[in-house]
Amino acid sequence: MILLGIAIILATIYLLIKQYETRMVLFTSGVVMATLGGNPLAAFNAFAKSMTTAGLIEAICSVMGFAFVMKYTECDKHLIHLVANALTKIRPLLIPGATLGTFAINIALPTAAGVSAAVGTIFIPILVAAGVHPATAAAAVYAGTLAAC
C-alpha cells in the first residue's frame, strides 16, 4: 500500500510538472487513493461535506454578488484605471506600485485569474512603455495577485 501511495504521488508530481490541468490531476489522484483504500466514495463524501459548510456558502455567495455588481456597474474597470493613472505619476515607484495596486484590486475582485486579466491589460503596457522589461512587468502583476492568496 505504501509503495502504491508513493507511486501515485510521484505520478501526480510528474503530471503537474508536465503542466497538465492541476485540479484534474489532484482530483484523480485523490480518487485513485480512495479507491485503493477500499472506499471509492470517500473523496466525493469529503468534497460534499466541505461544500455544505455554512461559512463557505456565505463567503461564495457574497463574493459572487460583489463580483456581479462590480462587473454590471463597470466599477472594476474604473478601479483599475484609477490605480493605473496614479502609477504613471510616480515613476520611481512604478514596479512596487504596480504590485501594490494589483494587490489592492485583488482584494476587491474575487478571482486571481480575473484580476490578472483585468490588471495585466492595463499595468503591463504602462510598465513596458515606461521602459520596464515585459517579464518584470508581468512579474509585478503576478506578485500582486499572489500576495492576497
Task: Break the chain into its structural domains and give their ranges.
Answer: 2-52, 62-147
75 vs 70: CA distance, rounded Å: 5
89 vs 16: CA distance, rounded Å: 41
pLDDT in tens, 57-69: 666 676 667 767 8
Cell of 29: 489522484
- Three-state secondary-structure class, residue 109: coil
Percent of the chain whose predicted confidence (pLDDT) is above 90: 16
- pTM metric for this prediction: 0.47
Q: Give the chain's mean pLDDT.
A: 81
pLDDT classification of 135: cutoffs 50, 70, 90: very high
Whose cell is 463597470? That residue is 74
Percent of the chain whose predicted confidence (pLDDT) is above 70: 88
pLDDT in tens, 10-19: 999 999 999 8
Asked whether the predicted pLDDT for residue 115 surpasses 80, the reply is no
With CA atoms as reference, report the closest residue to 119 among 87, 73, 89, 149. Answer: 87
pLDDT in tens, 70-99: 778 888 778 777 777 777 777 788 888 888
CB-side neighbour CA atoms (13 Å) of 49:
6
- Three-state secondary-structure class, residue 39: coil
40 vs 133: CA distance, rounded Å: 50
